[in-house]
């Protein structure tokens, strides 16, 4: 849902980031307003997963330039846990298994951390069980998964459902879903996408990181961004995703080469 | 380096003095163990304390032990009032290393004390079978233990037994000698709780013989508080189709040395070892396991975990002997370690000796920090870095602790294991 007067939730300006000494993001610009669903598409290695991790504050990624503001606040100044508490959520491409830590306890601690930040009361075990039972329906998840260790022995689909369950409990303002569709069969994809659609509202925004069009068949984006070589190359509506599906990513390479050629007319390769 | 300083120092006299002082205070040998005590005392006079140049003690700093001034005193024999209520269906025995733990206790059907004659016949058999009867900690126990709790387990009902002891500076030396005969098809769930505080040394020697198809689930929860030290030898013989499961957890001792030594006397049995040890501050936590298959078709499933923090040192050595007779042995050993401080140290070593050719013996060891990805995952859900680290530590420990016998839960082992302070105080009573 696009409303030009909606609140600007996330503003990314000329973002540069490295992992180890490798520059990955090379000037990302993106604005996300309340009520919008954005999709970032691109090949493996284009930087789209890095973008999601930088926004969530992964310690292995170093921001070397640019700014990110969340509701006017400098997001890059905050620890990962604080970003989560104020409403930035990252749905992991590969949710981490944590043996020995009860999923239920984990969900409760996480939910309470967010509630405290919002000025709400912490939920005790009983109140939380009521809440989680209700939210389980969003992802049609078996309550038995609450009793297990976090993600341990979960199938790929179960892990992704657990991610969306966390999203349902934390009620983020900006949800970044990194390749949530990967590893899902078509039924699981429908359930996960159904959960995302259910949670999307006029008061929040969703950023989908995806490789394939098929997720966008079930979640309709307002904006599609094509990422390549660490920057957003082109932005369009949902038809851009269809175009990618039809034409593949080769034209992106051509466009990129043209840009980089214009920026650096003499690359060392050409000289050699 | 350590060797040089030990060699240069006048080691003989202080070490001799260490034993002599104690030997001079011990009561005269008496009772069923009199002969054993006399032999042990003679042995101690000749046997120096273990030293770092002995391969088995190479990584184990014994200064916490030598710093103790061992002495002997009688105890009041009173059971502390603040023990947690015992689990339903479980018999609790209080061991003070002096009095008779069975005095005034009605034993359930299937559990009976051995007669003096039976004890005389069985005592020491398993220690010899697993080759540790002359180890220093065993001789120390021989010299000091005046009593052996010797029980026969029979029948079809699972017997649930809890043994509790607490050494403090007052007891100084707490020797525990145990002998368990688990007869054919009998089942015993044993929860052994060792508490230690003050300048004390707890010495445990346990012998267990498992008949055919017998099962022994042995939980050992050892909660110490430096400068207390613990030396424990657990010697087990298994007949075919028996099952021995040892789940051990220790923390807090200035020095703890745990030596489970198991022989599958004709193979074809199952042994499961799960260990967890925490070494913080300047503590030394050492587990040396030794497993021998004396026949074919035996299995071993072993997981040893350790956390080293502060200046703590963790040592694990896992010996597995597979002689020619032990064809089709299937053994798996895994050592997983968390190193949480730059000043802590972890030494972990598998020690496989395989002669038989048709066997499967897997082993592995990992030493790592808390996983960055696991921490980040928790943080990305709003959980602060400190709490996230605590959750991960709990998770690391829980894998072993959940294998303890159910009766151990009244001790809240996870809470007690991960918290500082006196292990005798219940967690809810702490400030």
Residue-wise DSSP of B385-422: HHHHHHHHHHHHHHHHHTTS-GGGGGG-HHHHHHS-S-
* C-beta atoms of A100 and B377 within 8 A: no
Residue B427's pLDDT band (boundaries 50, 70, 90)? Answer: very low
Cβ distance A100 to B384 less than 8 Å, yes or no, reads no
Torsion-angle region of A247 (φ positive above 0: left; ψ -120 to 50: alpha; else: beta): alpha
At B310-365, the pLDDT tens digits run: 999 999 999 999 999 999 999 999 999 999 999 999 999 999 999 999 999 999 99
Q: How far apart are CA B326 and CA A116, in angstroms?
A: 61
Residues of B in contact with A90 (CB under 8 A): 380
Q: With an 8 Å Cβ cutoff, is A78 touching chain B?
A: no
Q: Is A153 on the interface with B (CB under 8 A)?
A: no
**Is residue B265 within 8 Å of B235, Cβ to Cβ?**
no
pTM score of the predicted model: 0.81
pLDDT, one tens digit per residue, over B30-73 is 999 999 999 999 999 888 888 888 889 999 998 999 888 878 88
Domain ranges of chain A: 8-94+173-271
Alpha-carbon distance B385 to nearest alpha carbon in chain A (angstroms): 8
Segment B188-246, tens digit of pLDDT = 999 999 999 999 999 999 999 999 999 999 999 999 999 999 999 999 999 999 999 99
Distance, in angstroms, between B370 CA and closest chain A CA?
A: 11
Class of domain A8-94+173-271: alpha beta
A166 reaches B (C-beta below 8 A):
yes
pLDDT (0 to 100) of residue B21: 83
Least CA distance to A99: which residue of chain B?
B395
Q: Does A90 touch chain B (CB under 8 A)?
A: yes
Are residues A106 and B381, on separate chains, in Cβ contact within 8 Å?
yes
φ/ψ of B91, rounded to 5, equals -95, 125
Q: What is the 3-state secondary structure (H, E, C) of A96-163?
A: CCEEEEEHHHHHHHHHHHHHHHCCCCCCCHHHHHHHHHHHHHHHCCCHHHHCCEECCCCCHHHHHHHH
Distance CA A131, CA A123 (A): 9
Residues in chain B: 431
| Coil, strand or helix at A196 | helix
Residue B5 has pLDDT above 70, yes or no: no
Pull the structure tokens for residue B323. 């002689």
Tens-level pLDDT at each residue, chain A (272 residues) = 788 899 999 999 999 999 999 999 999 999 999 999 999 999 888 999 999 999 999 999 999 999 999 999 999 999 999 999 999 999 999 999 988 888 999 999 999 999 999 999 999 999 999 999 999 998 899 999 999 999 999 999 999 999 999 999 999 999 999 998 888 888 889 988 999 999 999 999 999 999 888 889 899 999 999 999 999 999 999 999 888 888 888 888 888 888 777 765 444 444 33
ipTM over 0.90: yes
Confidence at B168, pLDDT banded by 50, 70, 90: confident
> How many residues make up chain A in this entry?
272
Terminal Cα distance for chain A, rounded: 51
- Residue B16's pLDDT is 66
Subunit contact B380:A113, Cβ cutoff 8 A: no
Residue B385 and residue A81: Cβ atoms within 8 Å?
yes
Please give the DSSP secondary-structure letter assigned to residue A173.
S
Helix (H) or strand (E) holding B212: none
Q: How many CB pairs under 8 A join A and B?
A: 81
Q: Which residues of A touch B396 (CB under 8 A)?
A: 99-100
Report whether pLDDT(B12) > 80.
no
Residue of B225, B199, B232 lying closest to B95 (CA atoms): B232
Which residue on chain B is closest to A112 by alpha carbon? B382
Portion 282-301 of B in contact with A at CB < 8 A = none
Cα–Cα distance measured from residue A263 to residue A221, given in angstroms and rounded to the nearest whole number: 31
A117 contacts B382? CB cut-off 8 A? yes
Q: Which residue has the higher pLDDT, B247 or B22?
A: B247
At which residue do the structure tokens 């839960």 appear?
A: B409
Q: How far is CA B429 from the centre of its chain?
A: 27
Angle at B8 between CA B2 and CA B9, to 5 degrees: 90
Instruction: Please indicate if any CB of chain B lies within 8 Å of the CB of A50.
Output: no
CB contact under 8 Å between B381 and A83, yes or no, is no
The answer to whether residues A181 and A161 touch, using CB atoms and an 8 Å cutoff, is: no
More confident residue, B170 or B261: B261
Q: Give yes or no for B418 touching A (CB within 8 A).
A: no
Q: How close A91 comes to chain B (CA, Å)? A: 9
B397 has a chain A CB within 8 A of its CB: yes
Considering only CA atoms, which of B164, B163, B231 is closest in space to residue B200?
Answer: B231
Contacts of B409 (CB under 8 A, 6+ apart): B87
Phi, psi of B300 (to 5 degrees): -135, 135
Here the tokens at position A124 are 């005790």
Cβ–Cβ below 8 Å for A99 and B387? no
* Minimum distance, in Å, between the CA of residue B191 and any CA atom of chain A: 22
* Both structure tokens of B135: 């180890």
Residue B430, pLDDT above cutoff 50:
no
Is some CB atom of chain A closer than 8 A to the CB atom of B373? yes
Q: Which residue among B379, B384, B395 sits closest to A100, beta carbon to beta carbon?
A: B395
Q: Using CB atoms, pick whichever of B373, B382, B399 lies closest to residue A110.
A: B382
């Amino acid at each position: 849902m696009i409303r030009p007067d909606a609140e600007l939730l996330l503003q990314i300006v000329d973002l540069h980031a490295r992992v180890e000494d490798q520059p990955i993001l090379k000037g990302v610009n993106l604005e996300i307003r309340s009520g919008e669903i954005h999709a970032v598409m691109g090949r493996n290695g284009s930087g789209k997963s890095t973008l999601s991790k930088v926004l969530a504050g992964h310690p292995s990624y170093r921001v070397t330039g640019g700014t990110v503001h969340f509701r006017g606040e400098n997001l890059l100044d905050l620890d990962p846990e604080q970003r989560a508490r104020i409403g930035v959520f990252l749905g992991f491409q590969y949710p981490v298994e944590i043996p020995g830590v009860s999923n239920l306890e984990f969900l409760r601690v996480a939910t309470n951390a967010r509630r405290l930040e919002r000025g709400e009361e912490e939920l005790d075990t009983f109140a939380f069980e009521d809440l989680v039972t209700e939210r389980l329906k969003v992802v049609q998840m078996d309550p038995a998964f609450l009793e297990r260790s976090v993600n341990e022995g979960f199938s790929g689909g179960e892990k992704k459902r657990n991610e969306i369950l966390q999203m349902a409990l934390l009620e983020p303002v900006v949800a970044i879903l990194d390749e949530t569709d990967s590893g899902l069969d078509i039924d699981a994809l429908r359930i996960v996408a159904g959960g995302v659609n259910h949670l999307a509202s006029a008061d929040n925004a969703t950023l989908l990181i995806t490789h394939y069009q098929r997720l966008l068949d079930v979640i309709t984006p307002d904006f599609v961004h094509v990422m390549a070589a660490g920057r957003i190359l082109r932005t369009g509506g949902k038809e851009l995703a269809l175009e990618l599906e039809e034409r593949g990513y080769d034209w992106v390479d051509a466009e990129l080469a043209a840009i980089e050629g214009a920026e650096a007319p003499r690359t060392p390769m050409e000289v050699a | 380096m350590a060797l040089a300083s030990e060699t240069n120092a006048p080691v003989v006299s202080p070490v001799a003095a260490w034993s002599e002082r104690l030997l001079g205070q011990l009561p005269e040998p008496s009772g069923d163990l009199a002969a054993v005590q006399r032999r042990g005392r003679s042995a101690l006079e000749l046997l120096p304390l273990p030293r770092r140049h002995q391969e088995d003690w190479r990584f184990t700093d014994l200064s916490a032990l030598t710093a103790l001034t061992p002495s002997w005193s009688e105890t009041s024999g009173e059971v502390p009032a603040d023990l947690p209520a015992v689990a339903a269906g479980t018999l609790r025995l209080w061991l003070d290393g002096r009095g008779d733990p069975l005095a005034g206790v009605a034993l359930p059907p299937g559990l009976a004390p051995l007669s003096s004659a039976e004890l005389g016949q069985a005592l020491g058999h398993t220690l010899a079978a697993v080759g540790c009867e002359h180890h220093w900690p065993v001789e120390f126990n021989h010299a000091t233990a005046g009593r052996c709790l010797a029980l026969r387990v029979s029948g079809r009902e699972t017997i649930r037994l809890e043994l509790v002891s607490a050494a403090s500076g007052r007891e100084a030396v707490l020797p525990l000698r145990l002998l368990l005969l688990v007869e054919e098809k009998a089942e015993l769930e044993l929860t052994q709780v060792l508490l230690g505080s003050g300048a004390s040394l707890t010495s445990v020697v346990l012998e267990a013989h498992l008949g055919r198809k017998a099962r022994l689930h042995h939980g050992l929860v050892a909660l110490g508080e430096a400068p207390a030290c613990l030396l424990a030898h657990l010697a087990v013989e298994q007949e075919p189709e028996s099952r021995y499961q040892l789940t051990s957890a220790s923390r807090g001792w200035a020095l703890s040395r745990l030596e489970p030594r198991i022989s599958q006397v004709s193979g074809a049995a199952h042994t499961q070892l799960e260990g967890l040890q925490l070494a913080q501050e300047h503590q030394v936590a050492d587990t040396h396991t030794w497993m021998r298959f004396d026949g074919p078709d035996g299995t071993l499933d072993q997981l040893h975990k350790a956390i080293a923090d502060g200046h703590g040192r963790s040592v694990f050595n896992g010996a597995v002997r597979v002689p020619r007779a032990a064809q089709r042995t299937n053994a798996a050993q895994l050592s997983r370690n968390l190193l949480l401080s730059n000043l802590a140290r972890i030494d972990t070593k598998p020690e496989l000796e395989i002669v038989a050719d048709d066997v499967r013996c897997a082993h592995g060891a990992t030493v790592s920090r808390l996983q960055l990805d696991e921490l980040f995952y928790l943080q990305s859900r709003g959980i602060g870095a400190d709490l996230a680290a605590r959750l991960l530590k709990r998770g690391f420990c829980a894998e072993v602790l959940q294998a303890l016998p159910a009766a151990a839960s009244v001790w809240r082992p996870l809470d007690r294991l991960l918290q500082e302070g006196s292990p005798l105080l219940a967690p809810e009573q702490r400030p």
